[in-house]
Amino acid sequence: MICREYPFFEKIYKITWEFKSMLTDKNIDALDKLMEGAKNLNIPEINSFINGIERDMEAVRNAIKYEYSNGLV
């Protein structure tokens, strides 16, 4: 019902779930497509998030790919 009332919300909802699924499924290949779709929304907060990912792409890819982290360090 919300998506029908606010069509733009549906786009935000969809990209959020795609990101969650990418992390859950550890699907690194989906990252570039997801980032491009997020950029196309042209929402400042999402653009800022995407810029942060781009600044440290190797770490983001490793975080998606591997089960462990250096969080304890």
Q: What is the pLDDT of residues 6-52, one digit of tens each?
A: 888 888 889 999 999 998 999 999 999 999 999 999 999 999 999 99
* Sequence-separated contacts (24+) of 6-12 with Cβ below 8 Å: 11/41, 12/41, 12/43, 12/46
What is the mean pLDDT of the segment spanning 58-71? 84
Q: What is the pLDDT of residue 63?
A: 87
* pLDDT over threshold 80, residue 71: no
Q: What is the pTM of this model?
A: 0.74
